[in-house]
């Protein structure tokens, strides 16, 4: 027996119904049911479809997680749930499920921040987080640089995207190239056969003037437009579109800016540990480029394995477990789902 807490985490902020179970920092189960196929033909997540899918998947996913972990719901010491940010209707399903469980089982409830959970999950793989660390969070909904002194209570945003999120840019460019949704993994795969210097796509918010106001912010909408124009011009001239070269050059533009700004922020903050999280952290070029450039300036890089980068319940359980370990007071049973929960609010309600 161990006295480390057994924590169950529920994630429903977007299109993945995730239920994870951890004991302390040990991952016992990570059950995920995705509704991604139901959204594919729309080229993006349809909130109503996602909410309904969460409702249908919740109980089977809970059962699967308990079975994998070999635990009964009654054994659980605390319930954690993503209370925001995310799609309001989707979040509501997870929050309602978590409240019901907490109430019925008489266990404490922790409503946690999705972005902080993307950071906390790395502890399951690489142990306690360095204090402080710089987190680059890149997903379908967010692109942020955060200074994390304590993932249970001290997260300071340094910069964020001013338009599209990095994953959104991958998804939109993939669509333009005729690749399926979600596009990130397809661009990643196509790019391996392409030339990353074939086309010189713009690096958003890196000019001297932009850096004055937006040193640690990102912008990907200009890049997306540049790719669209380039592809249109090709099509108009009747020449074939070199999909692999476009994918590789686009991916290089995104990764170049992400890594450049993350390392600049690390230097400015005097931080030697960079943690990359969120769905786009699964990108092979981002992982390689960050590793190379960080090593050159003496910064250590931590990136969870790809399955823990995309949305899952284990990340929520990991943050819940950190909350319990830090002795944070639980959330109240009238915890709201907050679609725009600020990243500074790591523990809600
Ligand atoms: O974190 P996540 O699962 O959900 C959100 O919180 O948004 O991130 C999903 C995003 C999608 O935009 C997807 O295209 C992107 O992560 N993604 C990738 C890769 N795998 C997933 N982007 C680039 N390369 C990948 N290998
Ligand atoms: Zn996410």
Query: For the chain, what is the radius of gyration of the CA atoms?
Result: 20
Distance separating alpha carbons of residues 158 and 155, to the nearest angstrom: 10
Distance in angstroms between the alpha carbons of the first and the last residue of the chain? 32
pLDDT, tens digit, for every residue of 212-267? 999 999 999 999 999 999 999 999 999 999 999 999 999 999 999 999 999 999 99
pLDDT, tens digit, for every residue of 152-191? 999 999 999 999 999 999 999 999 999 999 999 999 999 9
pLDDT, tens digit, for every residue of 53-79? 999 999 999 999 999 999 999 999 999
Distance separating alpha carbons of residues 60 and 261, to the nearest angstrom: 41
Q: How far is the CA of 165 from the centre of ligand 1 (A)?
A: 10
Report whether 177 contacts 240 (CB < 8 A): no
* Ligand 1 neighbour 138 (Cβ under 6 A): no
* Ligand 1 neighbour 182 (Cβ under 6 A): yes
Distance separating alpha carbons of residues 70 and 6, to the nearest angstrom: 12
Q: Which ligand is nearest to the CA of 278?
A: 1
Kindly tell me if the per-residue pLDDT of 107 is higher than 50: yes
pLDDT, tens digit, for every residue of 281-331? 999 999 999 999 999 999 999 999 999 999 999 999 999 999 999 999 999
* Ligand 1 neighbour 185 (Cβ under 6 A): yes
The residue whose CA has the least distance to atom 2 of ligand 1 is 279
Tokens of 52: 């309904």
Tokens of 99: 């409240």
What per-residue confidence (pLDDT) applies to 1? Answer: 47
Q: How far is the CA of 6 from the centre of ligand 1 (A)?
A: 29
Alpha-helical (H) ranges within 106-165 are: 114-120, 122-126
Separate counts of helices (H) and strands (E) for the chain: 13, 11
* Ligand 1 neighbour 159 (Cβ under 6 A): no
Partners of residue 106 on adjacent β-strands: none
Q: How far is the CA of 334 from the centre of ligand 2 (A)?
A: 24
Tokens of 321: 């477990």
Distance separating alpha carbons of residues 174 and 61, to the nearest angstrom: 30
* Torsion sign (Cα): 209, 212, 213, 215: positive
What per-residue confidence (pLDDT) applies to 44? Answer: 83
Mean per-residue pLDDT, 17-23: 98
Tokens of 167: 């994953």
């Amino acid at each position: 027996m161990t006295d480390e807490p057994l924590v169950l985490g529920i994630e429903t902020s977007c299109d993945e119904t995730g239920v994870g179970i951890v004991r302390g920092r040990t991952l016992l189960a990570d059950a995920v049911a995705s509704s991604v196929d139901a959204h594919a033909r729309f080229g993006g997540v349809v909130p109503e479809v996602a909410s309904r899918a969460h409702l249908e998947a919740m109980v089977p996913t809970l059962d699967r997680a308990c079975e994998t972990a070999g635990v009964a719901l009654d054994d659980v010491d605390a319930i954690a749930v993503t209370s925001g940010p995310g799609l309001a209707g989707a979040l509501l399903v997870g929050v309602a499920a978590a409240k019901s469980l907490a109430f019925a089982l008489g266990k404490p409830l922790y409503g946690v921040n999705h972005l902080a959970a993307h950071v906390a999950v790395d502890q399951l793989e690489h142990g306690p987080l360095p204090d402080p660390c710089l987190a680059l969070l890149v997903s379908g909904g967010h692109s942020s640089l955060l200074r994390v002194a304590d993932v249970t209570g001290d997260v300071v945003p340094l910069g964020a995207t001013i338009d599209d999120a990095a994953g959104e840019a991958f998804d939109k460019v993939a669509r333009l190239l005729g690749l399926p949704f979600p596009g990130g993994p397809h661009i990643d795969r196509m790019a391996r056969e392409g030339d990353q210097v074939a086309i010189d796509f713009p690096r958003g918010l890196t000019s001297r003037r932009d850096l004055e106001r937006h040193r640690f912010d990102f912008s990907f909408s200009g890049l997306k437009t540049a790719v669209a124009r380039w592809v249109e011009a090709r099509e108009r001239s009747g020449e074939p579109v070199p999909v692999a070269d476009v994918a590789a050059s686009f991916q290089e533009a995104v990764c170049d800016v992400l890594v450049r700004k993350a390392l600049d922020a690390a230097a400015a903050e005097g931080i030697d540990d960079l943690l990359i999280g969120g769905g786009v952290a699964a990108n092979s070029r981002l992982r390689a480029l960050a590793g190379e450039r960080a090593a050159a300036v003496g910064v250590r890089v931590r990136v969870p394995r790809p399955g823990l980068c995309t949305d899952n319940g284990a990340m929520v359980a990991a943050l819940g477990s950190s909350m319990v370990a830090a002795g944070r007071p639980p959330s109240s049973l009238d915890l709201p789902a907050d679609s725009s929960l600020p990243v500074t609010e790591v523990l809600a309600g």
